[in-house]
Amino acid sequence: MILVWILVLPAAGGLAAYFAAGSNWRVARAILAASMAAPLLLLVWLWGRHSGFSDASRGTEWIGQFTIAWIPQRGIQFALAMDGLALLLSLLTCLVGLVVALSLNGSHKLPGAYALLLALLTTAMLGVFLASDLFLFFVSYEVMLLPAYALLIGWGHGDTRRAATRFFLFTQAGGLLMLVAILGLHVAHYQATGVQTFLYRELSNTPLSPQVSLLFLTGFILAFAVKLPLVPFHTWQPDTYASASAETTILFSAVMAKTAGYGLLRFAVPMFPGAAETAAPGVMALGVLTILYASWLAYGQTDLKRIVAYSSAGHLGYIVLGAFAMNDIGTRGAIVQMVCHGLSVTGLFIAVDVIERRTGTRDIEQLGGLWKISPRFGSLALILALATLGLPGLGNFVGEFLILTGTYQHHPLGAAIAAFGAVLAAAYSLRIVQKVFFGPPKEVTETSDSAAFPMTICAVLIAALVWIGFFPQPLLDAARTVRADRNEALVASAGEQQ
């Protein structure tokens, strides 16, 4: 039952904010923050209570499950389950949700409605991470689009309609392919066993011919390749990020992109292990291409948000490598990478927002010398840039290093080429530092807007990244997936399993 609470609390808070707050942003902020903090605390409590992580034999157990019939005629169940992977990503979701809630301020129109949409998006993302029924997973995955689209249209800047339409079309196309794969799997399972079900653990054991298996896997991969995104399915992303509001961009990049990584690690690779091995070279090649190409594009941008957007795509390319490395090192590296990238990209977009608010521009050619104006802010942004370029001592390095290590086992050349992404990442990261913070101070339209609060958030995020960089073990222990194929012992049952 606790999983249900975690899932619905943000949405309930959003509704409360919508009806209670109206145009009062302070009320909206308070309610939304509380509705994010509550599931966050529940998750922390769950983590603390679950002692099995450090014990290798018990490490791969579900922490909690919840199942209730939904559409029994088709065997569709409202089934939730949580293991280490789902726990960490839910934690990330609620943490980023809390950050977003706290950054609400008077500048947003219709704060109540804004809070509601942010909350609905959060709940949908939690649904993706917690669903253990593939139909429920797909519904959550698609439902994400609705608040996301509304947030883009209603609260974005610039050509929002074009960006939102692109975003919608791309992800919708990907989603449809996944739907076909899921339905196909459902039918194949029915034909083989006579049981109608969408349950993850059941469908995982569906006997499939290698060709069919590869076909279904392709459907999943394409959906996730759009969402992550992988080159060449990435073109919707920079426009979307650039035109979305700061809060929306943070939720998109820090969490929504992770739903794709999660999907790869949870469904695509474990459900079709044989096919995944076949597809691995091709998919990993796309991953390497994404790392290099997106980093190169990041170097050519002048809009800070676009730089971070491309950088984000570049770093998520590593996740594909980790997922298809087919070993524990790569998988857990990918999970750490998702968490750390979520934290660092949140900080980066906050920093970009602060810069835009204080100077009125995101164009790095017009910026300069910000270090002189605010050395503290400069230091924080510098550390976030260092996290992005994968400096040891910060969490992102742990993720990327483990991914490369895992990849090297079967694909040494791929790992070696991907490693050069570190040079390209350093190139664009240092370019930001140099253009924005170094150099002589330029005239800025200094506003009275205080940056103390966002800077505190950045400091907290950095503290977390440093902590993970030096003491990643608790995170690595928790970063385990319950592989469906190894989990037949757990019997399905309706109702509370917690």
Partner 1 sequence: MNFVNSLLWTIPALPLAGFITLALFGDRIARRSVSRIAVGTVSLSALLALVFAFRFVTAPPEGQAFQQALWSWIHVGSFSVDAALRLDSLSMVMVLVVTVIGALIHLYSTEYMADDESYTRFFAYLNLFVAAMLTLVLADNLLFLFLGWEGVGLCSFLLIGFWYEDPKNGRAAAKAFLVTRIGDVFMLIGMLLLFWHFGTLHIQTLLGAVNTEGHSWHLTLAALLLLGGAIGKSGQVPLQVWLPDAMAGPTPVSALIHAATMVTAGVYLIARMNPIFIHAPGIQHLVAVIGAVTLLIAGLCALAQRDIKRVLAYSTVSQIGYMFLALGAGAWSAAMFHFFTHAIFKALLFMAAGAIIVALHHEQDMFKMGGLRRRMPLVFWTYLIGSLSLAALPLVTAGFYSKDKILFEVFTSEHGKLLWAVGVAGAFITALYTFRMNFLVFFGTQKSEIHKGTGLAMALPLMLLAAGATVVGFFELPAVFGHFTLFSSFIEHTLPGTHGDHASHSLELMLMAVSTAAVFAGIAVAYFIWGSAAKKSSDVTKRPLSRLLASGMGFDWLYERAIVSPYSAGARANAADAVNALYTALVSGIEAIAFSLARTQSGRLRWYMAAIAFGAVVGILLVVYA
Q: Is 153 in the site for partner 1 (CB under 8 A)?
A: no
Strand partners, 65: 81
- Give the total of residues touching partner 1 (CB under 8 A): 55
What the block records as the tokens of 287 is 């991953």
- SS3 percent helix, strand, coil of the chain, rounded to 5, is 75, 5, 20
Work out which of 422, 457, 458, 484 binds partner 1, going by CB under 8 A.
422
- Smaller CB separation from partner 1, 283 or 422: 422
- Smaller CB separation from partner 1, 214 or 431: 431
CA–CA gap between residue 444 and residue 370 (Å, rounded): 9
Q: Is the peptide bond before 232 cis (omega within 30 degrees of 0)?
A: yes
CB of 236 to partner 1, least distance (A): 9
Sign of torsion, CA 380 385 387 391? negative
Give the range of 178-186, 205-213, 257-265, 416-424 binding partner 1 by CB under 8 A: 416-424
Give the range of 64-72, 142-150, 339-347, 401-409 binding partner 1 by CB under 8 A: 401-409
Work out which of 375, 450, 495, 498 binds partner 1, going by CB under 8 A.
375
Are 222 and 178 contacting, i.e. CB atoms less than 8 angstroms apart? yes
Give the range of 137-145, 192-200, 407-415, 449-457 binding partner 1 by CB under 8 A: 407-415
Residue 91 half-sphere exposure, CB side, CA atoms within 13 Å?
24
Are 308 and 244 contacting, i.e. CB atoms less than 8 angstroms apart? no
What the block records as the tokens of 311 is 């950088």
CA–CA gap between residue 351 and residue 366 (Å, rounded): 16
CB of 175 to partner 1, least distance (A): 17
Secondary structure of residue 175 in the 3-state scheme: helix
CB of 299 to partner 1, least distance (A): 4
- Smaller CB separation from partner 1, 11 or 329: 329
CB of 85 to partner 1, least distance (A): 14
Cβ burial of 143 (10 Å; 0-12, 13-18, 19+) is middle
Give the range of 146-154, 390-398, 445-453, 485-493 binding partner 1 by CB under 8 A: 390-398
Q: Is 159 in the site for partner 1 (CB under 8 A)?
A: no
- Interface map 318-357 toward partner 1 (x if CB under 8 A): ---------xxx--xx------------------------
- Smaller CB separation from partner 1, 208 or 451: 451
Dihedrals phi, psi of 19, to nearest 5 degrees: -80, -35
Q: Is 396 in the site for partner 1 (CB under 8 A)?
A: no
Q: Is 419 in the site for partner 1 (CB under 8 A)?
A: yes
Q: Is 427 in the site for partner 1 (CB under 8 A)?
A: yes
Residues sharing a CB contact under 8 Å with residue 160, sequence separation 6 or more, in sequence order: 152, 153, 243, 244
- Smaller CB separation from partner 1, 30 or 404: 404
- Smaller CB separation from partner 1, 108 or 341: 341
* Closest CA relative to residue 352, chosen from 461, 458, 444: 458
- Smaller CB separation from partner 1, 363 or 496: 363
CB of 87 to partner 1, least distance (A): 17
CA–CA gap between residue 79 and residue 204 (Å, rounded): 15
CA–CA gap between residue 190 and residue 170 (Å, rounded): 31
- Smaller CB separation from partner 1, 41 or 416: 416
What the block records as the tokens of 139 is 């519904």
CB of 166 to partner 1, least distance (A): 9
- Smaller CB separation from partner 1, 116 or 424: 424
CA–CA gap between residue 425 and residue 38 (Å, rounded): 36
CA–CA gap between residue 251 and residue 121 (Å, rounded): 8
Are 323 and 264 contacting, i.e. CB atoms less than 8 angstroms apart? yes
Work out which of 106, 158, 441, 495 binds partner 1, going by CB under 8 A.
441
Q: Is 241 in the site for partner 1 (CB under 8 A)?
A: no
Work out which of 187, 416, 463, 494 binds partner 1, going by CB under 8 A.
416
Give the range of 21-29, 78-86, 275-283, 391-399 binding partner 1 by CB under 8 A: 391-399
Segment 75-78 long-range contacts (CB within 8 Å, at least 24 positions apart):
75/186, 75/195, 75/196, 75/197, 75/198, 75/199, 76/133, 76/135, 76/136, 76/198, 77/133, 77/136, 77/197, 77/198, 77/199, 78/133, 78/136
- The DSSP code sequence of 21-75 is HTT-HHHHHHHHHHHHHHHHHHHHHHHHH-GGGGSTTTTTS-SEEEEEEEEGGGT
Give the range of 127-135, 264-272, 276-284, 300-308 binding partner 1 by CB under 8 A: 300-308
- Smaller CB separation from partner 1, 104 or 225: 225
CB of 76 to partner 1, least distance (A): 35
In the complex, the residues that contact partner 1 under the rule CB under 8 A are 231-232, 234-235, 238, 296-297, 299-302, 327-329, 332-333, 369, 371-372, 375, 379, 386, 391-393, 398, 401-402, 404-405, 408-409, 412, 415-416, 419-420, 422-423, 426-427, 430-431, 433-434, 437-441, 470-473, 476
